[in-house]
Structures are given as structure tokens and as C-alpha cells.
Amino acid sequence: MSILELKNVSKAFGQLKVTDDVSFAVPEGQALGIIGPNGAGKSTLFNLITGNLTADTGTIAFEGTDVTKVPAMQRCFAGVGRSFQIPQPFDNLTVFENLLVAAMHGRNTNQAAVEQACADILLQTELMPVANAPASGLSLLQRKRLEMARALATDPKLLLLDEIAGGLTDAECVALIDTIKSIHARGVTIIWIEHVLHALTSVVERLLVLDFGKVIGIGAPDEILNRQDVREIYLGIDV
């Protein structure tokens, strides 16, 4: 069964069509990577899936239910979680408190269950050693981990990661990939926008290419990255 299905989704900002007749489906439990040049409309697509933006035309279904017009908060309750390209935690709260805020707003459960879930996520994302440290003092890798942990705190079935590996060293990237793989192994469906291709292809089973708001390919990573047109779009990037 598809956990997410977009049919003919379009979105324009004024005259600029940023999402152009996009259709694709993501089977439950799959990890899908999204690539495309700067400005191709990748983050906009995430905003449409999460409900931060509303599609002009087309439909978006989550677990078989049409959510095209459903507000972001309700999509979050239904199981759509996301990280943002630029982590913006509450800097003056601790790491644990940041998770509590996300969990208390994103989960429909009692205080004890929320605290237990946050403790589990601290372990899973390797943030336990800094649980009581203010977010302001975290390294970039830890901020990225916290960004992912805050999304996990809402108990997503579908996790959207927006350029989570950007700016990390190779060693940091490897560490983050391990965490993403462990989240995926627990059955969470993942859609991951990323420019760091080696990180992306070490996790995802399928790749989708966006260019000028259009899907120009979707399929196995090797097959997609060997296509001439995709290589041309990525001219200068080491595939």
C-alpha cells in the first residue's frame, strides 16, 4: 500500500510554477530520495506534503485519505513529520526540553508516555549525553540530530528530511547515516531531499529527480544517476 500519493499536484507563486503536475506514490516503509538543482522546487514539494503550503491543483493522499486541504497540524497528528533545512531549535531550552515541546504538541498521549518516548529518541539519535545541555551550545552534527529528533518526537509514520547532511564532514555524515538507517529499519517511511548524493544513495531505495518543478525521473538510484539528462542537470557534481 502507498503511504503517500500525489496526483497531478501543481503550485505557483505568481507567474512562477514551482510544482508542475507532480505525480508519484511512496510505498509504506520505503526510503525515497529527492534530488534536483537549486530552485527545482524540492522544499516546496515538502511544504505541500506537510500542509505548510496548499496545492493549487491536484490531490495528496496520506494512508489512503485525501489530505490536500488538511492543515499542517492535523497532518502532523496523522503521522507526517519533517525536519527543516536550517535547524531552528529553541536555543535557550535543553535538548530534552526541545523534544518535549515537539512530543507534547505532536502526540496525543499522556505526560509519562511523552517523557518515555523522548528518552527513547535521545538514545536513538545519540543525543543522550547532551540531553540537559542547552540547544545553543550544540555542534552542527548535534543540531542536525536534534532537528531529526524533534521530527521523531511527533511519532511520524512518514519522515521528511530536508538536506539534513548539508555542511557535515564525511565522518559526521557517516554517523548521521547510521542513525537514519536505524530509523528506517524501524519501519518509518522516509523521503529525503539531499545534495550529498553518496549519503542519500547509501540509504534510499528509489530516487526522484525534480527539475523546474517537474518530475523528470523516478526509479532505482543507479539507473537514475546513469541517465544522461540527469547527469547533465548535475554537471559539475561528483556522482
Ligand X SMILES: Nc1ncnc2c1ncn2[C@@H]1O[C@H](COP(=O)(O)OP(=O)(O)OP(=O)(O)O)[C@@H](O)[C@H]1O
Which one of 4, 9, 31, 40 is in contact with ligand X (CB under 6 A)? 40
> What are the phi and psi torsion angles at 159 (to 5°)?
-110, 125
Looking at the Cβ atoms of 36 and 156, the one nearer to ligand X is: 36
Looking at the Cβ atoms of 181 and 195, the one nearer to ligand X is: 195
Looking at the Cβ atoms of 55 and 100, the one nearer to ligand X is: 55
Pairwise CA distance, residues 38 & 35, whole Å: 9
Looking at the Cβ atoms of 32 and 135, the one nearer to ligand X is: 32
Q: Is 237 left (phi over 0), alpha (psi -120 to 50) or beta?
A: beta
* Site stretch for ligand X (CB under 6 A), options 42-50, 74-82, 120-128, 147-155: 42-50
CA distances from 124 to 33, 107, 137, 178 (A): 22, 18, 20, 10
Amino acid at 103: A
User: Footprint of ligand X on residues 5-24 (CB under 6 A)?
Assistant: 13, 18
* Site stretch for ligand X (CB under 6 A), options 31-39, 111-119, 132-140, 222-230: 31-39
Looking at the Cβ atoms of 43 and 142, the one nearer to ligand X is: 43
Which one of 39, 134, 166, 217 is in contact with ligand X (CB under 6 A)? 39
H or E segment to which residue 8 belongs: strand 2-13
38 binds ligand X per the rule CB under 6 A: yes
Amino acid at 178: D
Burial class (CB within 10 angstroms; exposed 0-12, middle 13-18, buried 19+) of 111: exposed
> C-alpha angle 185/189/190, rounded to 5°?
95
Which one of 33, 36, 51, 81 is in contact with ligand X (CB under 6 A)? 36
Binding residues for ligand X, rule CB under 6 A, total: 10
SS3 call for 120: helix
44 binds ligand X per the rule CB under 6 A: yes
What's the grid cell of residue 156?
511520524
Enumerate binding residues for ligand X (CB under 6 A): 13, 18, 36, 38-44
